[in-house]
Chain A
Amino acid sequence: MEQRTTIDKSFKSEPYQINMGPQHPATHGVLNLLLTIDGEIIQKVEPDLGYIHRSIEKMCERDSYQQIVHLTDRMDYLSSNINNEAVCLVVENALELEVPERVKVIRTIIGELTRISSHCLWWGIMGMDVGALTTFFYGFRDRELINDIFEETCGARLTMNYNVPGGLMLDIHPNFIKRVKKFIVHFKTKIPEYDKLLTENIIFQKRTKGIGILTKEDAISFGASGPVARASGYSCDVRKYHPYSALDKVTFNEALRTEGDTFARYKVRIQELWESLSIVEQLIDNIPEGEHRVKTNAVIKLPKGEYYQKVETARGELGVYVISTGTKSPYRLKFRSPGFSNLSLLSHIAKGGKIGDLVAIMATIDLVIPDIDR
């Protein structure tokens, strides 16, 4: 009789835990999510981080400012140029260094091209995560073209190191303008193709609409930024509110949607492709002549004080917070990475969904793990 009661107990359903990652196709890197699941329904998502933590912030405390620029490439490697720009801007602002107009325009063009290439890759991965493997190659096809342009100009494809405090490492390649124009023409025909292949697909819409809803209040409270926040109707584009480089000279619309679901986040990024393309288009014909770099001291020492610079990377708001004591290295340097804040809301919006929903949500949050782990 006693045995029977134990058997009855064992037939009760109970939640179980699985480790999604650190080696899992949907986590795009070494993120480990500890899922508590009841059948297929997710009850809790607990991220376990640190698999590629390199303590860049500690390394910054020993490095010079020129060296720090190189470290930022390795954070959010898909928007490395924008990360570089952030550190350069904070140094230039602290030194009250006026960089030439030419530099500002080129930085903005390169930054927006980086955003396009990052979103191309994201689009490919997004399709792959919901099961459409073909999108990956379409996304990479167009990303390759941008990478080729970058390679010609600065010699690298992923970790560019093109920005240095005071300007640019090198002037743009003579082919740069021609190739970027060619790319604009090419890419304008490709975004509708993206829509045709994935956006308009009924299965894709069923998979994403109404999934992982993030309200505007929660988005603000969770410190969300970038497309994730803008899909919830929270207007937070740093390019609009705190324009840097040549972004105050261009007109563009902030991609905003109000639904806050996975599909809205998807659409925001697709719209951002158009906006970034239009920014590049506005600037590419008007690159002013001039120097590509102003001279700085070989050893840059920031005046004593605290400096903060926000930029908009492809994932959201990147903040660089520097406390300087007047030496050649910062006393403390903190990167406020967009991925870290965006990850913190994953558990909140994935709760109650299926495993498949979690994968779709993760794809639209667009996590880059080195950005979170730093």
Chain B
Amino acid sequence: MNIPLNITKTIHDWLFSIMPEGAASIVEMFIIALVYLGIFTVIGLFLVFLERRVSAWFQLRIGPNRVGYQGILQSLADALKLLSKELTGTVKADKFLYNLAPYFVIISALMALAVIPFTKEFHAFDINIGIFFLIAISSIGVIGILLGGWSSNNKFALIGAMRSGVQTISYELSIGLSLLTMILITGSLQLSEIVEVQKNGWLIVQGHIPAIIAFMIFMISGTAETNRAPFDMAEAESELGAGFHTEYSGMKFAYFFLAEFINMFIIAAIAATVFFGAWLSPFGITESLPWLGIFWFLGKTLSLVFLMMWFRWTFPRLRVDQLLTLEWKYLLPINLVNIIIMALIVWLNLTITF
């Protein structure tokens, strides 16, 4: 058992000292799974609350402010409400797929979370194909959406699911290619190494112009990948009612809802890791205090999350054919040219390092 699980060194060592190796690994896996489930829920609920407050701020409202301090427990209350709601469904739905679909979405989001480097230590699953793993996992989520839309026997849901399929498959290319652009600098797919490289300057600084282009493309396609406005074709409220999750209620709906927010967090976290040096402080000002890494990481991630919320609450929605035009006619060619430029820059040693 040589899985690179290293949530914290102390717990790891302590577990291995009192148990045989196999049992200790399994126990450690359970502990990590529980910890990440906790993180998952907390982040999900917090982002729901944050989105509501941010949107309220954009829309001249106050937003939730009654439950807990400044309404911080509002989304918890909502989650409890959703838990207690009746699970409804259509009569002619394909019951098995209908019930399975939310789990695809939520499990893929949860799996992706495991690879995110919160700090140097707090990084559960540091595999050598980290970025590749993230891209692969994030494309599983779309299966859940497709299944949910297909199996709920509702034409609006089906249209939403088909749109989502088209959209995710297209924009995955851009996500992959824009990350590939950055990997040309790091020379590694492993997230810890990508962070390590950035001790000489964040990649967005190291790669300067092509890196900024790649960052912009990543944010655009990342927003599209998470099905958020202005790319919320799959659940376009004014067109399709609720899109693929029209027929879901209660906790199953909450799974889709939570997964959307977790996916947003993951996209922002990848961007923070690849472009902004994850838990590294700017110019190494808090290098002596490694536990502050979590502060920097969350700070960067939440700023990017805020950026995505900003998109959502200001832009109108694209039409489905415009969405594909944007990807295939603009983002993809720009991306390919960008990779060549980045390759030249790396080859000619034109990167900026401190």
Q: In the bound complex, what is the Cα–Cα distance between A355 and B237 (angstroms)?
A: 12
Contact, CB under 8 Å: B319 / A357:
yes
Query: Interface digits, A4-15 against B, CB 8 Å rule (1 contact, 0 not)?
Result: 000000000000
Contact, CB under 8 Å: B320 / A354:
yes
Would A198 and B316 be within 8 Å (CB), given that A137-B59, A356-B236 are in contact?
Answer: yes
Q: In the bound complex, what is the Cα–Cα distance between A278 and B60 (angstroms)?
A: 27
- Give A1 Cβ to nearest chain B Cβ, in Å: 30
Q: Residue A127 at the B interface, CB < 8 A?
A: yes
Contact, CB under 8 Å: A127 / B316:
yes
Q: Tell me the dominant secondary structure on chain A's binding face.
A: helix
- Give A352 Cβ to nearest chain B Cβ, in Å: 13
Residue on B nearest A136 in the bound complex, by CB: B59
- Give B41 Cβ to nearest chain A Cβ, in Å: 26
**Residue from B237, B314, B316 having most chain A Cβ neighbours under 10 A:** B316
Q: Which residues of A contact B232 (CB under 8 A)?
A: 131
- Give B222 Cβ to nearest chain A Cβ, in Å: 17
Number of A-B contacts (CB under 8 A): 83
Query: Interface digits, B250-273 against A, CB 8 Å rule (1 contact, 0 not)?
Result: 000000000000000000000000
Contact, CB under 8 Å: B61 / A137:
yes
Contact, CB under 8 Å: A354 / B316:
no
Contact, CB under 8 Å: A203 / B318:
yes
Q: Residue A25 at the B interface, CB < 8 A?
A: yes
Contact, CB under 8 Å: B316 / A203:
yes
Would A354 and B59 be within 8 Å (CB), given that A16-B155, A132-B316 are in contact?
Answer: no
Query: Interface digits, A133-166 against B, CB 8 Å rule (1 contact, 0 not)?
Result: 1101110010000000000000000000000000
Q: Residue A224 at the B interface, CB < 8 A?
A: no
Stretch at the interface among B194-202, B238-246, B287-295, B329-337: B238-246
Q: In the bound complex, what is the Cα–Cα distance between A96 and B222 (angstroms)?
A: 68
Q: In the bound complex, what is the Cα–Cα distance between A191 and B315 (angstroms)?
A: 18
Contact, CB under 8 Å: B319 / A18:
no
**Other A-B pairs beyond A25-B238, A207-B319, A359-B239, 9, CB < 8 Å:** A16-B155, A131-B232, A132-B317, A134-B58, A203-B315, A203-B316, A207-B316, A207-B318, A356-B319
The 3 closest A-B pairs by CB, nearest first: A131-B317, A137-B59, A130-B316
> Which residues of B come within 8 Å of A, CB atoms?
55, 58-61, 155-156, 159, 229-230, 232, 236-241, 313-322
